[in-house]
């Protein structure tokens, strides 16, 4: 079925992104996987090509095109290249962190931060999760108590994507520890602030090229001028921005599933058993027929959600549906595809092995499958 989501300018953009990935990312991916972090030059090179901050006004260094379809193109090309670990930091900057800077920042804050975000000289992250809490953000323990024209921040965060590379960290804190949701605010902590320290670059089973860190705050003095939005408005801001984050993860899930299918189709046509390519066995055909069908179903729903997001009509429930179903699809697809590779699928030299371990986190970060179903269930009046 022919997709109708993109216009000609999106496909021209895709050609540029694909060329950039093949030239600047793919040759270094194995090195970054070994190091556990991408080189910061990835961000500046992407910025120089106009692949960061597409939605930012031109006068602030961006592309001036608030069209999420360009973000989708980048995510799909990252999935096609099989470099999800390296690409996650790129999509995090564009899809997840940037909306906070665009909608919550004052004109002064935008002038201070957005040009560097678009050029890649400033790498961003968002810090919500803490060691003692996962999905229950209202129970966070990190505090930011007002002292004159500064907040004094104490606490810690964990599982923070871009945590090592980040220069600007959107940090969820309790400015009123006596309150749950209404006591939460967002502060931007900057690299070099006294008392802001990074812990381990966490050792994960997949997404190895993506730096995922612990962050520690000890009496960090953060200017009030670094607060995003109103004091006490942090939870509402997070809830407002999470649908785009979850759709971004869903887009990547379908793209990665499609690539797993592609490499498996190639493999089963070449690998022989009992005198014929294994793709000719009925079980192989049936399993791959199921995978191909599910990927197309997921793609159709994703494309509808992207258009709804562009029209500002995507609901939290629809984003939750996309996130849980497409990431669970991603997980099922790579499992099926690895099985069809047989023993070779378990060897790390085969791309399907890395795809398998990279996929496992997607049903957890950005909101677990269980939380997504809870959101949907409540919307049904249950």
Residues with catalytic annotation? 245
Cβ of 119: how many Cβ atoms within 10 Å? 17
The first and second tokens of residue 9, run together, are 């300018």
Burial class (CB in 10 A: 0-12, 13-18, 19+), 67: middle
Beta strands in 79-238 (DSSP E): 124-127, 143-147, 150-161, 168-174, 184-190, 196-201, 212-223, 227-228
CA distance 15 to 21: 10
Cβ(157)–Cβ(186) below 8 Å: no
The first and second tokens of residue 303, run together, are 């494309």
The first and second tokens of residue 81, run together, are 């290249």
Kind of pairing between the strands at 168-174 and 124-127: parallel
């Amino acid at each position: 079925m022919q997709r109708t989501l993109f216009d000609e300018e999106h496909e021209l953009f895709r050609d540029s992104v694909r060329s950039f990935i093949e030239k600047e990312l793919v040759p270094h991916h194995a090195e970054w996987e070994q190091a556990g972090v991408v080189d910061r030059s990835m961000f500046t090179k992407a910025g120089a090509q106009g692949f960061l901050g597409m939605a930012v006004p031109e006068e602030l260094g961006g592309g001036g095109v608030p069209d999420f379809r360009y973000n989708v193109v980048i995510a799909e090309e990252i999935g096609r290249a099989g470099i999800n670990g390296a690409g996650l930091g790129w999509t995090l900057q564009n899809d997840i962190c940037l909306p906070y800077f665009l909608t919550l920042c004052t004109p002064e804050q935008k002038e201070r931060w957005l040009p560097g975000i678009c050029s890649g000289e400033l790498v961003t992250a968002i810090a919500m999760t803490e060691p003692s809490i996962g999905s229950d953000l209202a129970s966070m323990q990190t505090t930011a108590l007002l002292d004159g024209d500064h907040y004094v921040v104490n606490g810690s965060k964990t599982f923070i994507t871009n945590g090592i590379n980040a220069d600007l960290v959107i940090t969820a804190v309790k400015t009123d520890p006596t309150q749950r949701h209404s006591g939460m605010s967002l502060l931007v902590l900057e690299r070099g602030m006294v008392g802001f320290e990074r812990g381990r670059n966490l050792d994960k089973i997949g997404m190895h090229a993506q730096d995922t860190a612990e962050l520690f705050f000890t009496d960090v003095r953060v200017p009030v001028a670094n607060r995003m939005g109103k004091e006490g408005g942090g939870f509402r801001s997070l809830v407002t921005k999470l649908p785009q984050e979850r759709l971004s993860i869903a887009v990547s899930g379908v793209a990665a599933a499609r690539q797993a299918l592609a490499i498996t189709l190639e493999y089963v046509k070449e690998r022989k058993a009992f005198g014929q390519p294994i793709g000719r066995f009925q079980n192989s055909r049936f399993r791959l027929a199921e995978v191909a069908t599910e990927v197309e179903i997921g793609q159709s729903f994703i494309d509808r959600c992207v258009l709804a997001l562009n029209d500002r009509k995507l609901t939290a429930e629809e984003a939750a549906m996309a996130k849980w179903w497409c990431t669970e699809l991603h997980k099922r697809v790579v499992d099926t595809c690895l099985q069809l590779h047989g023993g070779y699928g378990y060897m790390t030299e085969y791309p399907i092995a890395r795809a398998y371990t990279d996929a496992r986190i997607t049903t957890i970060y950005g909101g677990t499958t269980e939380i997504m179903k809870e959101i949907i269930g409540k919307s049904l009046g249950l």
